[in-house]
């Protein structure tokens, strides 16, 4: 089993363990996650099934499609696609799905000492990310979880 699987309460709530045991593992499905991006090289992903793009004008300081100190997008991608039974971390609800990480959030200036604590997304970047997924024609599910003020 995966190291932190016992802390992943959502598997019980969603019934994903039952689904996985019965062959429903995301195979043949492509999920796009519009968020802060994904940390490339993360050990709990099969990178042959992941594509990462950015629609923002921001250059990543570490060139990894994620924000320093952020990681929300990586976390969401892990809930969806974290590798099953590799002895690391936890696992996702659809570990065999293909994943498209679309970075739509960028750091912005704030009063904080660490500007990477503050992230935001412009509506035009979100719409560009949605349109990118639609135009590709191979995305089955678009995941977006953010709020607006």
Query: What's the pLDDT score for residue 85?
Result: 75
What does the pLDDT average to over 100-117? Answer: 67
List 74's β-bridge partners, or say none.
Answer: none
C-alpha to C-alpha distance for 14 and 11, rounded to whole angstroms = 5
C-alpha to C-alpha distance for 37 and 106, rounded to whole angstroms = 9
CA angle at residue 121 from 116 to 123, to 5 degrees?
Answer: 165
List 51's β-bridge partners, or say none.
Answer: 100
**5 three-class SS:** helix
Place of tokens 């045991």: 21
Q: Are 95 and 81 in contact (CB under 8 A)?
A: yes
Query: What's the pLDDT score for residue 89?
Result: 78
Does residue 111 register a pLDDT over 60? no
Percent of the chain whose predicted confidence (pLDDT) is above 90: 35
What does the pLDDT average to over 101-120? Answer: 67
**Which pLDDT band holds residue 125 (cuts at 50, 70, 90)?**
very high
What does the pLDDT average to over 39-49? Answer: 80
The residue ranking higher by pLDDT, 119 or 139, is 139
Does residue 102 register a pLDDT over 80? yes
What does the pLDDT average to over 120-129? Answer: 92
Q: Tokens in use for 16? A: 């994903």
Q: Tokens in use for 133? A: 């997924």
Does residue 1 register a pLDDT over 70? no
Nearest to 119 by CA among 83, 85, 72: 72
- Phi, psi values for residue 16, rounded to 5°: -70, -30
Write out pLDDT tens, residues 58-96. Answer: 655 555 555 543 478 888 998 999 888 777 778 889 999
């Amino acid at each position: 089993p995966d190291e932190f699987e016992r802390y992943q309460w959502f598997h019980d709530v969603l019934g994903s363990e039952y689904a996985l045991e019965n062959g429903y593992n995301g195979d043949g499905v492509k999920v796009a996650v519009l968020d802060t991006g994904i940390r490339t090289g993360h050990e709990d992903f099969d990178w042959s099934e992941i594509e990462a793009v950015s629609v923002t004008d921001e250059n990543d300081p570490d060139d990894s499609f994620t924000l320093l100190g952020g990681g929300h997008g990586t976390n969401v991608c892990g809930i969806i696609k974290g590798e099953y039974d590799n002895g690391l971390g936890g696992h996702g609800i659809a570990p065999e799905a293909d994943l498209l990480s679309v970075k739509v959030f960028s750091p912005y200036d704030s009063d904080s000492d660490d500007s990477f604590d503050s992230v935001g997304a412009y509506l035009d970047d979100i719409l560009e990310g949605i349109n990118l997924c639609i135009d590709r024609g191979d995305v089955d599910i678009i995941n977006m979880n953010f709020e607006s003020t």
